[in-house]
């Protein structure tokens, strides 16, 4: 039996790191909390497969490495919809930052209580978004 060696993290093994390294995506665009993003995700319906776009505000990011995920919120027909996407999932085809929002928090859960124009964040001009 192979001896498991602890790396700098202390509890993770080299074998786990090797498996994760094969599944981590190389090119992930830079996006932050408060940004409005288009997330293109792969949807399977029976034997067909298509790509669906989910547009919304990034309200949270958590985890690191292969376990990193982010939460996107949008309002559809006066109803708030949130989806949690694993960052390195093969079902997440592309993430496209559209607009950058100015925030002072790491998690924007307070946006859940707001409606109308109060949901909109002030725009921060940065180089990583389209507009």
Lowest mean pLDDT among 10-14, 68-72, 96-100, 107-111: 10-14
Model pLDDT, residue 8: 58
Q: β-pairing, 79-86 with 48-62?
A: unpaired
Taking alpha carbons only, the member of 87, 41, 85 closest to residue 66 is 87
The band of 3, judged by pLDDT with boundaries at 50, 70 and 90, is low
Structure-model confidence comparison of residues 97 and 119, the more confident one: 97
The residue extents of the domains of the chain are 31-119
pLDDT tier at 10, thresholds 50, 70, 90: low
Distance CA 123, CA 57 (A): 12
What pLDDT is attached to residue 14? 85
In which residue are the tokens 């079902």 written? 91
Residues 63-89 have pLDDT tens digits of 988 999 999 999 998 899 999 999 999
Identify the burial level of 76 via C-beta atoms within 10 angstroms of its C-beta, where 0-12 means exposed, 13-18 middle and 19 or more buried.
exposed
Whole-number Å distance between alpha carbons of 24 and 106: 24
Tens-place pLDDT, residues 12-70: 688 888 888 888 988 999 999 999 999 999 999 999 999 999 999 999 999 988 999 99
Radius of gyration of the chain (CA): 18
Whether pTM > 0.85 for this model: the answer is no
Sign of the C-alpha dihedral computed for residues 111, 117, 121 and 127 taken in this order: positive
- Class in CATH terms, 31-119: mainly beta
């Amino acid at each position: 039996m192979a001896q498991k060696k602890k790396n700098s993290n202390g509890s993770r093994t080299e074998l786990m790191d090797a498996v994760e390294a094969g599944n981590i995506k190389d090119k992930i665009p830079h996006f932050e909390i408060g940004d409005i993003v288009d997330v293109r995700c792969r949807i399977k319906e029976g034997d067909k497969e298509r790509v669906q776009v989910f547009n919304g505000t990034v309200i949270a990011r958590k985890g690191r490495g292969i376990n990193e995920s982010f939460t996107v919120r949008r309002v559809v027909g006066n109803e708030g919809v949130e989806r949690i996407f694993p960052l390195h999932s093969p079902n997440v085809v592309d993430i496209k930052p559209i607009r950058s929002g100015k925030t002072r928090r790491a998690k924007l859960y307070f946006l859940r209580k707001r409606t109308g124009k109060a949901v909109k964040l002030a725009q921060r001009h940065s180089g990583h978004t389209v507009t």
